[in-house]
Amino acid sequence: MRRFKWIPLLMAVLMAACAQQPSREASAHRAHAAIDYAKYVQRTVPWFNFTSLYSWDSNQLGSVVVWTSPRAAYLLTTAGPCLGLQTTAGIIGLTSRDGLVSSNQDAVLAGGDRCQIMRIGQLDAKAIRAARAGSEAKTPDDKRD
């Protein structure tokens, strides 16, 4: 029995680590909010491969940008306003079937809302990274020493 005393402590530490998500820095979010992702859509696709969510951003209630890797991003347009995107604490999810997220079948899960995906636009991730770098260079950040 003595060797199992550390298990509750380990479980508590693991649960605390899982509950905390990295927060978005205010300056980075301001820079991303200025980006009009719609102009970076290369083409509309019926589905995309989905194994993990690398990152996401939303500056409109009816759309969300999901990054499945640093080099692959998609603009998901939902059936209506997805209020959960603005109220969630940095956590969203996507439904998928057999590793594919499909328009008209799958949904964005945010803040208790289930928002059906109506359209998927494949984004030019390289151009977005360049735009982000340009807008962050123009936005002065308050540096802390």
Identify the pLDDT of residue 133. Answer: 85
* Cα angle, residue 27 at apex, residues 24 and 28 outer, rounded to 5°: 55
**Per-residue pLDDT reduced to its tens digit, 72-120:** 999 999 999 998 888 756 789 999 999 999 999 999 999 889 999 999 9
3-state DSSP assignment of residue 48: strand
Run of H or E residues at 100: strand 100-102
pTM, two decimal places: 0.72
d(CA 36, CA 63): 11
Contact in structure between 128 and 37 (CB atoms under 8 Å)? yes
Identify the pLDDT of residue 61. Answer: 84
